[in-house]
Amino acid sequence: MQRIKENITGTVTIFLLVCNTLFWASLLFPVAFLKIIPIKLKLWRMIINKTLDTIACCWIYCNNAGLKITRTIDWQISGVENLRKKSWYLVIANHQSWTDIVVLQKILTGKIPFLKFFLKKELIWVPVLGLAWWALDFPFMRRYSQSFLLKNPHLKGKDIEITKKACQKFKDMPVSIMNFVEGTRFTSQKHATQGSPYKNLLKPRSGGIGFVFSTMGNMITSILDVTIVYPQGRLSFWDFLCGRVNVIKVHVEEIPVTDEFIGDYVDDPVFKNKFQRWLNDVWYEKDARIDMMKGTVMPFSSTHYTEDEAMVIN
């Protein structure tokens, strides 16, 4: 009987999320089409983008409210006290399930600029969401493989050039770029296949964030290293929707961006190796932090929120 109730909770949650998405998309799209009007005024674009980000934040807030209705979660959060809405951030995190995205949106929305992802250009065709991502200026990437570039050497660097152009719009309006550097969700099988040197993590890949720094490194003021732990163990996104996840621990570490982060990741092998070593060190620290966070007491100066209080701080 309990399992049936949980599955009903999951179904109701999906229904609420879909309805919420369709409602806010109906407000987002009319404003988005105003971007097509050929007005060159910088103020006009800033007003439109600010309106779109506000609608998107309301979208997330309502998602959080819908989740609150269907579940009770003990949020244990640290490191979010000094975040700023007017800074440019690169956000990295460990990745276990789609729940991670919901967690990141919940704890960071309203504290930093709206989270945006680098997306493959093909994703613009995803129904509803593809148009929403375009409206919100999510950068769509065109990545060329090494084999393709060998056959078409004249296109070398073209992907970087296209992405840099797409990121120019972020100069005048703060933004947060999100990247899961493990490249995929953690599973025991993937961990074993990789031969990962980390107990709780897959090997980090520096290519994604190296690409970010190659395109907009001079804009980014800080890196936010987010560690997410589910003390009950690794549960699926469906388990989360069904209300089976009752405790979530999150720690945010802010890393200032200095000159050592700025370089040519694509064509400078020395910088590339140095950047990967730095990320490996971050991941060793995260691995140890996860072990500590799995205990009954967080080893950091953290704040414990009930579900109601977590809604307020967001």
pLDDT, mean of residues 245-261: 92
Q: How far apart are CA 292 and CA 276, in angstroms?
A: 25
Please indicate, yes or no, if residue 141 is contained in any of the structural domains. yes
In a domain, 171, yes or no: yes
Residue 109: DSSP 8-state: B
Predicted confidence (pLDDT) per residue in 76-115, tens digit:
999 999 999 989 999 999 999 989 999 999 999 999 999 9
pLDDT at 296 over 50: no
Residue 39 has pLDDT above 50, yes or no: yes
Q: Which residue has the tokens 């190659």?
A: 214
- pLDDT value of position 112: 95
Q: Determine the Cα–Cα distance for residues 162 and 251; give it in Å rounded to an integer.
A: 34
Kindly state whether residue 52 falls inside one of the protein's structural domains.
Answer: no
CB contact at 8 A, 147 and 85? no
Spatial CB neighbours of 313, under 8 Å, sequence gap ≥ 6: 77, 80, 305
Question: What is the CATH number for 157?
Answer: 3.40.1130
Q: Please give the average per-residue pLDDT across 196-214, as a whole number.
A: 87
Please give the tally of structural domains in the chain: 1
| d(C-alpha 252, C-alpha 77), whole Å | 8
Q: What average pLDDT does the segment 206-234 reach?
A: 86
Residue 228, domain extent: 73-313
Checking if the pLDDT of 42 tops 90, the result is no
Using DSSP, state whether 200 is helix, strand or coil. coil
Q: In this predicted model, what pLDDT tens digit does every residue of 140-182 receive, in sequence order? A: 776 655 666 666 666 565 666 666 666 667 777 888 988 888 9
Give residue 160's pLDDT: 64
- The answer to whether residue 56 sits within a structural domain is no
Asked if residue 204 is part of any domain, the answer here is yes
pLDDT higher than 80, residue 279: yes
Q: pLDDT value at position 10? A: 87
What average pLDDT does range 45-68 have in this prediction?
90
Is 205 domain-assigned? yes
Q: Does the predicted model carry a pTM greater than 0.85?
A: no
The contacts found for 57-61 with CB under 8 angstroms, 24 or more apart, are: 57/109, 57/110, 57/114, 58/24, 59/20, 59/21, 59/24, 59/28, 60/105, 60/106, 60/109, 61/109, 61/110, 61/314
Residue 228 has what DSSP assignment? E
- Is the residue at 63 inside a domain? no
Can you give the pLDDT at residue 143?
63
Query: pLDDT for 3-16, tens place per residue?
Result: 888 888 889 889 98
More confident residue, 295 or 223: 223
Between 313 and 101, where is the model more confident?
101
- pLDDT over 50 (residue 308): no
The answer to whether 232 and 246 are in contact (CB under 8 A) is yes
- Average pLDDT of the chain? 83
Taking 90 as the threshold, does the pLDDT of residue 30 lie above it?
yes
Residue 51 clears pLDDT 80, i.e. is over it: yes
**In this structure, is residue 185 part of a structural domain?**
yes
